[in-house]
Structure 1
Amino acid sequence: MTHRLRSVGLEYAETAPLRLVFVAEAQAPPGAVFTALADTEGWPRWFRQVSAARSTDGGQGREIRLRGGVRFRETVMTAEPGRRYAYRIDETNMPGLRALLEEWTLAPSDDGTLVRYVFALDGPPPARLVARLARPGLRRAFRDAVRALDRRLAGG
């Protein structure tokens, strides 16, 4: 069964009832990291939890499948080369969510790129509790993905 989520704007990354924020360092420059983020079909090659990904609507949308069967239909909210990539989840087969936006921001650092990821969501109290309890797993998945992406960009 598919659940339609509430449409939210980019400001939701700062105003959502629950925001999980993670930061990691990549050695690749911001432009290379951004190019990988914007290459939807490439996500399964570096983000282990993503089993399939395809661009839709001429690059303005995405369809994502996670390992375990969760599916998302998304709208790309912004794609600012070398700076920011964000998408809103419009439909999912995961119950309990009302709204979800994910934002990746990139900033040059002495060692390459500072990658900041925001998982901004709304749902009833049990869904927010589950998301809070999932924080360590989400943090690990994000850091593993940034490391894998960095290795891939370095040619390893």
Structure 2
Amino acid sequence: MDWTRYRFRSLWALPAPPAAVFEALERVEDYPRWWRQVREVRRTDDTTGVIRIRSLLPYDMTFIAREMRRDPAAGVLEVTMTGDVDGWARWTLSAPGTGTLARYDQVVDVNKSLLRRFAVPGRPLFRTNHRLMMRAGRRGLSAYLEAV
């Protein structure tokens, strides 16, 4: 097992139609407005940006996100990431009833030396940290969507 590779999946039930959720998720530069763990997003061009995140644990992670797929009809947004983590992340939206189900999948290899050094003993804590960040993101986006 590669202790520095992570696979994550989160499901967010959101109180808005898929088109509104897609519109909010594709505006990455607005994430810090509703997702407090996304500390900074700096666009470098139309499809690329530098993102800095920090959750409960006292370390920042910075990576370059490059858009690989933006398909509003299919409800899919996908990026590759390089920097403190290398890999990819994908949002897939569906409308199983009222509102939207947003599925977030991510596969990354961690490059940040601190996280690599503590890969084995810290793994449960790092996974919990990610889960807390995703829970806060779901809450933030829900409130943002209800306000607009």
Tell me the equivalent position of 1:76.
Answer: 67
Give the distance between the partners of 1:54 and 1:18, measured in 2 at CA. 25
Give the distance between the partners of 2:60 and 2:72, measured in 1 at CA. 31
Deviations 1:75-97 (A, max 9, x none): 1111111611111112x2x3xx5
Q: CA deviation at 1:38?
A: 0.9
Tell me the equivalent position of 1:118.
Answer: 105
Q: CA deviation at 1:45?
A: 0.7
Question: Which consecutive aligned stretches of 4+ in structure 1 deviate over 6 angstroms post-superposition?
Answer: none
Does residue 38 of the first structure (1) align with residue 29 of the second (2)? Answer: no
> TM-score scaled to structure 2, two decimals?
0.77
Deviations 1:59-88 (A, max 9, x none): 211111223432211211111116111111
Identity of aligned residues (%): 31
| Distance of aligned partners of 1:22 and 1:46 in 2 relative to their CA distance in 1, 3 Å threshold | same
Does residue 53 of the first structure (1) align with residue 45 of the second (2)? Answer: no
One-letter amino acid matched to 1:102: A
Q: CA deviation at 1:56?
A: 2.4
Query: Counterparts in 2 of 1:2-151, with a 5 A limit?
Result: 18-57=6-45, 59-67=46-54, 68-81=59-72, 83-90=75-82, 92=83, 94=84, 97=85, 99-122=86-109, 127=116, 129=120, 130=122, 133-151=125-143
Instruction: Tell me the SS of whatever aligns to 2:16.
Output: coil
Instruction: Tell me the SS of whatever aligns to 1:109.
Output: coil
Instruction: Tell me the SS of whatever aligns to 2:147.
Output: coil
Deviations 1:77-134 (A, max 9, x none): 11111611111112x2x3xx5x32111111112131111111202359x746455542
Question: Which deviates the most, 39-48 or 74-83?
Answer: 74-83
> Is the Cα contact below 8 Å between 2:6 and 2:107 reproduced in 1?
yes
Unpaired runs of 5+ residues, structure 1, are: 1-16
| Distance of aligned partners of 1:77 and 1:131 in 2 relative to their CA distance in 1, 3 Å threshold | farther
Instruction: Tell me the SS of whatever aligns to 1:111.
Output: coil
Unpaired runs of 5+ residues, structure 2, are: none
Instruction: Tell me the SS of whatever aligns to 1:142.
Output: helix
Give the distance between the partners of 1:131 and 1:23, measured in 2 at CA. 21
